[in-house]
Every structure is written in C-alpha cells, then in structure tokens.
Amino acid sequence: MAMLELNNVRKIFNPGTINEKTALEGVSLSLEEGDFVTVIGGNGAGKSTMLNAIAGVWPIDEGSIRIDGEAITGIPEYRRARYLGRVFQDPNTGTAADMQIDENLALAARRGQKRTLRWGITRKEKESYRELLATLDLGLEDRMTAKVGLLSGGQRQALTLLMASLQQPKLLLLDEHTAALDPRTAKKVLEITNRIVTEQNLTALMITHNMKDAIRTGNRLVMMHEGQIIYDVRGEEKEHLQVSDLMKKFEQASGGEFANDRMMLS
C-alpha cells in the first residue's frame, strides 16, 4: 500500500478576487514506503503548496489525501502532525526559541500523543537525547539546557530534523530546509538528512532549488510547474540524470522563460 497518496488535489487561493491563483491544479502523486522524493520547480510552481496541503495548513478545495491508507483530507493540521515530521525553510519556524534544547525534543517526542499532567521530560529521556544530539556532531549534547534561540540557523535546522524524526513519522516533509543556510552548513544539514532518512528508512518529500542536490539525493525526483507535476523520474533513470536534462525539461514546460528563474542557480 502506498505511504502517501495524493489524488487530484486542487487548491485555489483568494477565489473570486483579482488575486485568485490556482496553486495546485489536480496533483496526483503516490509514494511507496521508503521513497525519498526530491521536488523541484520554479517559483510559484506549487511545491510548498503541495507540502502545506499534505500537512493540512489549510483545507484543500478538491481531491483527497491518504497517508498509509488513512484518509486525512478532513483532519486539521495539529492532528495530522502525528503522521508527519516537518522541517521548514526558515530555521526559526521549527523550534520554540524560548525553550531549552531538551524541552524542544521532549515536545517532539510527544507528537501525536495526548499531553497529560505528567512531567514534561523524564530523566531517562534526557539521557537518550544526549546520545541523540551527539550524533549531530555539533556539540549540542553539552548545551541541552540552553535556550534554542541561542543556536545558529544550521544548528536549529539539525535540531528540527532530530525532532521531526524522533517519533518515526510516516512521512517526512522537508520544505527547502537548507535554502536559508550558507553552502557549508547546507551541505552538513543535507548529510544529516540523508543519514536519518536512510537509517530509519523514512518516506520523505524534499523540496530544493538546488538541481544537483535534487539529482544526488533520494531515489525519485518530481518536477512541478504551474501547480502540476510535469516530470516524475526514479531509479536508474534518475541516477543518470544530468542538470542539463532537467533544464531542457523545464524549458519545454515553461516555453523558454527559464533564464529568469531562480532554478538557474546551480
């Protein structure tokens, strides 16, 4: 059974106004368990909109979404969280700055569970977090009681990744999570991402603007354009993909307006 199933999902923003925009135009996508899919496409192609539709940031207008066979179309964002690990583009979005590193992890460890009047973090948990943080090799294991607001963007993204994968999610959503980082930090965070996804055999969707990363990472690649998936390639075919192939594909789809787009970067 598919781990994620999008069936003809449509979303229109600001319907009936001059700002009306069809953001998703009947997107269908099916992910098998363990699929690690990179998503590319120009600005406004609908990549983030697709991830937000899955996460339930707002209700979709048409179509249906299933995770591991369960229909989640009518379920609000906070209740979908039990299935999803999420890392955002802005490193500030994924963590609570006023809370300690270990407290953030403890919050994530209880994703999808009822929050009771039991103590928010146990001693045993703290030990396991120390080991877990040590795997990041960022020295965070010695700063467990530091407020997350004191961390750098890269450290916060790495922590968010840990939090997203702490309760093994059915689907990991990575919304350009390396885009706000400097190249070296971005590389490190991508390495951590690869390690976590491989180790836990996670199913993941990763948006990126970096075409090389998109080709090198994961086992499958989809390209979006104007709210639709226009290209879906996997396995061996993907391994042999070149950046030039993607550029050609994109030019075909967009009718040669490629030169203006941010996808030109790398």
Partner 1 sequence: MTFPALNPAALLNALPGNIAQGLVWGIMAVGLYMTFRLLHFSDLTVDGSFATGGATAVMLIISGVPSPLALLAAFGAGLLAGLVTGLLHTALGIPDILSGILTQIALYSVNLRIMGARANQAVSVDKYFLVISLRKINRSLLTGALIVLAICVVLYWFFGTELGSSIRATGSNPSMAKAQGININTAKVLTLMLSNGIVAMAGGLLAQYQGFSDVNMGRGAIVIGLAAIIIGETLGEAIFGRHLNFFGRLIFVALGGVIYYIVVGLVLWLKMPSNDLKLFTAMIVAAFLAIPNLREKARNSYGKAAKKGGAGNGDAGAK
Question: Is residue 175 exposed (0-12), middle (13-18) or buried (19+ Cβ within 10 Å)?
Answer: buried
**145-164: which residues touch partner 1 (CB under 8 A)?**
163
Both structure tokens of 149: 């607001």
Cβ neighbors of 107 (< 8 A, separation 6 or more) are 96, 99, 120, 163
Please choose, from the candidates 225, 233, 232, 222, the residue with its C-alpha nearest in 3D space to the C-alpha of residue 25: 225
Binding test (CB under 8 A) with partner 1, winner from 10, 66, 82, 234? 82
Cα 200 to chain centroid distance, Å, stands at 16
Of 29-37, 60-68, 88-96, 199-207: span binding partner 1 (CB under 8 A): 88-96
- The yes or no reply on residue 84 touching partner 1 (CB under 8 A) is yes
Q: Does 169 bind partner 1 (CB under 8 A)?
A: no
Q: Which is nearer to partner 1, 35 or 175 (CB)?
A: 175
77 is a site residue for partner 1 (CB under 8 A): yes
Q: What is the DSSP letter of 90?
A: S
Please pick, from the candidates 4, 65, 106, 202, the single residue that binds partner 1 as defined by CB under 8 A. 106
Between CA 90 and CA 75 the distance in angstroms is 25
Does 214 help bind partner 1 (rule: CB under 8 A)?
no
For the segment 231-250, give every residue that binds partner 1 (CB under 8 A): none
d(CA 222, CA 234): 9
Using rule CB under 8 A, residue 78 touches partner 1: yes
Q: Which parts of this chain interact with partner 1 (CB under 8 A)?
A: 55, 77-79, 81-82, 84, 86, 88, 92-99, 103, 106-108, 110-113, 115-121, 163
